[in-house]
Each structure stands twice: as C-alpha cells, then as structure tokens.
Amino acid sequence: MKSVANPARKRKAFTIVELLTVMSIIVILIGLLVPALNKVKRFATDVKQRAQLHSISTAIELFSNEFEGYPDSSALDPQDQPYCGAMRLCEALMGQDLLGVHANTVFRADGLDASGNSNLYPVMSGLTSQEREDNLKARKGPYLQPENANANRLEDIYEDLSSSSFLPQTFVLCDVYGRKTATGLKTGMPILYYKANTAYSQHDPTITMSPEDSSGNIYNYLDNETLLLLGKPWESQTNQTPHKLSQAGDDGVERFYKNTQSDKIVTTPRPFNADKFILISAGYDGEYGTADDICNFDWKYVD
C-alpha cells in the first residue's frame, strides 16, 4: 500500500530571497542601534567627567581650608622653571608622589623647599624609618584617593618632551576620556587649572600678559600654555596641529576669554568663578577649546 505523506509534517526551508531580506533588516536595525548606543555611552562618560570635576573642586576647597587659599596656577615656579597650573593642581591635591602635599611646599618643579636644600618628596626607600615617618607627618591629604584620581606622569602621556623643560616624571590629573597615545599607553588628557587673581577685575583678551602676571585680568590664559603647546599626544610629532585653546591655535587667546566669560553679567566682561578657579577637560575629542570641552561651569562654546 502506498504511504501518503502528511503535509503538516513537511518542513519548509527559507528561500535565498527570504534570508537576504532578514539579513538586510538585521543590518538596518544594527545601523540604527549602534549610533544610539554610542550616544548613550558618550552621555554616560560626560556625566562621569562632570562628577570627576566636582570631586576635584571639593578637594581644592579642602586644600583651601588647610592652606587658607587656593593653590596658585602660575606657569613658572619660584625658580622660573615651567610648572603650570595642571601640575600645581596635582601637587596641591596629592603631592608630587601622590602621598599628600607637603606642608612646606612652595610649588617648585623639583620638589625642593624654599631654600632649595631639602627635598620635600624624597624616595621613601632611601630614608630611615624615622625620616619616613617625619616626612609623612608633614603631609596634608591626599585630598583625592590615588586609586581614583586618574593621575599620570607626563612621560606616560607625551612621547616627546624635548621641546619643553617639564620634568618627565611630573604627575598631572587626567580626565576620564582614555585614549591610546604615542607612548603606547591609554590615558586621558590633563585637567587644566586656572586660579582667579582677585586683585584684578578685567577679562580682556587684548591685554598683554606674561607667565608671571595677568596684568589686570582675573585669569591668565598662559597658566597652562606650555602644556597646550605639547600638542595632541596621539598625533605624531611631525603632524601636530595645535589645540584651539592655545596661543598657537586659531585665535586661541580670544577663544579662552570668550568661553570662560559669564553670560549672567552684561554690563562688563566678567569670567565664571571670578573669585575661585576654572577647571577644563578636553572632552571626548581630546582637544582643548572645542564644543565638547567640559568645565566646572556651564561651557557655552563660542568659536
């Protein structure tokens, strides 16, 4: 007797057209989803960056309570050696060795005291137990936890420091936008720090300034200029383009003053945080002076 196949038990295979259609739909959905996920990730990182700047601001206030004033941000140390705002910020909050700032610091790049005779941040392994204990007792802070401070040495960020007089082992606090640099390491960009000079009242890019004096301006754009001139650490030294916030950039000086100017006061140019300090992260693109920079105030980018 001839068997009769049950039509209900027959398997239907997908045709090539059906498979291609499904695959096309999946590709389209992925194409729509990936940008959305990237935006969510970008937003989350921006929130994390704002939280970091808030933590740094709180730490600066703790320093101010201990030392009765905010740390200076001048471009040069007492010996006229380059030691800019970003580097002074790290020493103030963590010390040059991340063990806390020494009570006798005068913010010298070499870590010596005012007389130049005593190293405030010696290699601890070379000290006796008593010397080590005495040194640590003279420290304040650290005001940030070393594990979460995102502190990196300049030599870990910039491949070539020969164009500057910065000491390669100097620490800076970096933002949360990790990027692989020419050194082979993945780090963020240094947080720029500018202290307000309350002896002055102007906010004018046309005023001639020096690294030691803002000559009437509350903020001196030169406080971190030497660091900005090191360029972008992921670019080769032969193909460097300047940061837009630097003097070498396209109207960088004017851009600094336009973007740090408060929009609440209209009778005269006045900066944000006119009696405190400014913190600037280079943002997602790693370039200072662009629309995605994140600061400790409402950055409304002006090109």
- pLDDT, one tens digit per residue, over 142-172 is 999 888 899 999 999 998 888 888 999 999 9
Of the listed ranges 121-130, 194-203, 232-241, the least confidently predicted one is 232-241
pTM above 0.75, yes or no: yes
Tell me which of 62 and 299 has the higher pLDDT.
62
**Three-state SS annotation for 227-250:** HHCCCCCCCCHHHCCCCCCCCCCC
Q: Which residues contact 160 (CB under 8 A, 6 or more apart)?
A: 237
The larger pLDDT score, comparing residue 184 to residue 96, is at 96
Residue boundaries of the structural domains of the chain: 48-99+145-295
Give the pLDDT score at 4: 54
pLDDT average, residue stretch 7-24: 71
Q: Is there a contact between 121 and 111 (Cβ–Cβ < 8 Å)?
A: yes
Which position has the higher pLDDT, 25 or 169? 169
Which of residues 100 and 264 earns the better pLDDT score? Answer: 100
Output the CA–CA distances (angstroms, integers) from residue 243 to 57, 198, 265, in the order listed: 24, 28, 28
- Rounded Cα distance, 59 and 92, in Å: 9
- The predicted pLDDT at position 12 comes to 65
Mean pLDDT of the chain: 90
What's the confidence (pLDDT) of residue 21? 81
For 7-11, 204-208, 281-285, which range has the lowest pLDDT when averaged over its residues?
Answer: 7-11
pLDDT tens track for 64-120: 999 999 999 999 999 999 999 999 999 999 999 999 999 999 999 999 999 999 999
Which structure tokens are listed for 149? 């401070």
Residue 194 φ/ψ, nearest 5 degrees = -130, 125
Selection from 153, 113, 150, 166 nearest residue 135 by Cα:
113
Sequence-ordered alpha helix ranges (H) in 68-181: 85-94, 129-137, 154-157
Q: What is the pLDDT of residue 286?
A: 94
pLDDT of residue 2: 55
